[in-house]
A = this chain, B = another copy of it.
Amino acid sequence: MCGTENEAAGQAPNSAHPAQNHNPDTSPYQRTEDDNLSNVGRYKIIESTLREGEQFANAFFTTEMKCKIATMLSDFGVDYIEITSPVSSPQSYEDCKTICKLGLKAKILTHVRCNLEDAKKAVECGVDGVDLVIGTSSFLREYSHGKSMEVIQKTAIEVIEYVKSKGVEVRFSSEDSFRSDLVDLLTLYKAVDKAGVGRVGVADTVGGATPRMVYDLVRTLRRVVSCDIETHFHNDTGCAVGNAISALEAGATHIDTSVLGIGESALPHPPSCGNGITPLGALMARMVVSAPEYTKSKYNLKMLKEIEEYVASCVQVNIPFNNPITGATAEKPGLLDGSTVTHKAGIHAKAILANPSTYEIIDPSLFGLTRYISITSRITGWNAVKSRVVQLGYELTDDQIKEVYVPIPPDQWSGSRRELALTFRNRTFKIKQMADIRPLAIDDTDSIIHAYHLNLQQEKVASTA
């Protein structure tokens, strides 16, 4: 690595490159290991729902859908919107031109094969930037395009120079970067960096990279090029978000995302789908924790749910129950409404009530959501019951609430909801043991609390009279 670094250090600084993370004029001995390496606090997003997402098996975006998705993403605050190559079909060509004419705040990119013909079509459409891609792993060289690295480099520089001459931004990316020969990859990237490319891209096309592999490769690349570094992570082995944060820590500048992560997959997804790339929502969950101020000020987080719901409807999927931030199992018993956070275990509920940040690292209100403590399970603690009592607006003492929670004899564990409420009014029914018998709906427990409260008031009235 020393030779490469020395050469990189000896290279003339290129003022056209926006993300200069180190000064190439400085002696390598003056550079410390982690010198300004991290871009966690200033990351940018290249949103690829309209390119990577269009490779999702269910994706068939009409022109109207594409324009609406692009507009929402631009309003959300992403820096770039990447769309399908205009070469791939006549409609893709027309849609590319239409989206470029929308006048969005976000820049419009299109993703084309690294050849002059494709690049010309892209420029013709009026895009702000062209993303060039070519496979560089030995697998892809042998089985896909069969070109040698020398030919790749020559073609790349020719195409880059053409795109630049048209005043358009240009990125050069390998495919399958983690299975490419490291020296080939660095040599190629150094050459395109010197040719004035705006960004180089690292892509984990098969989704097999681990966070430490990513950190190591990006950190090495960061020392070789002075341009921006874009990263693209498939999620086949569940590491797309972990890889994204590791890439930013190592000096990457841009993360590719798609809404709900939709995209093509290298993995067996029956009957289709793929688990795609780094999801926009999951990345927001990660970054609002890692870089809260930047993330909150730059992105319109309250739009996330609406964007996810719209894209889900376009590609005819349900939002996964475990989707970061906006996931839901709607219309199930035991749930209150469509915009709440649930905590269930007693030990956690107690701490949450004392201080929400104990178990919540993300403030739900940032995403337009509110907090809710579930009290219907057998593992509910009395603190959770107390919370619900407060939510319902009743004034009960701790002793009274604990009474709701104390076990009662099993022979009294039956009856309809109305009978349960009546029995509870007689102080023989308690929430916790009921939950051992069957799942409680939230309104079951609400009925019980209401009945208990009503009974107390009646007693009070009776004693006063």
Contact = CB atoms under 8 A, between A and B. Distances in A.
Contacts of A324: 235-238, 267, 275
A96 to B, nearest CB: 13
A211 B340 contact: no
A184 B313 CA distance: 50
Interface string A196-208: 0000000001111
Interface stretch (A21-29, A99-107, A358-366, A417-425): A358-366
A370 B338 CA distance: 38
In the assembly, how many copies of this chain are there? 2
B271 A342 contact: yes
Interface stretch (A1-9, A162-170, A385-393, A432-440): A432-440
Contacts of A135: 347, 351
Given A241-B239, A285-B238, A355 B143 contact: yes
Nearest to A346: B88
Interface string A319-334: 0111111111110101
Contacts of A336: 271
A77 interface: no
Contacts of A286: 210, 237-239
A426 interface: no
Contact of A140 (B240, B282, B358, B377): B358
A235 B322 contact: yes
Contacts of A276: 322
A451 interface: no
A194 interface: no
A39 interface: no
Interface in A273-302: 273-276, 279, 282-283, 285-286, 289-290
10 contacts: A60-B439, A90-B410, A211-B212, A237-B361, A264-B343, A264-B348, A269-B328, A272-B340, A273-B321, A317-B321
List the 6 closest A-B pairs by CB distance, nearest first: A242-B242, A320-B320, A238-B241, A268-B364, A211-B211, A238-B282
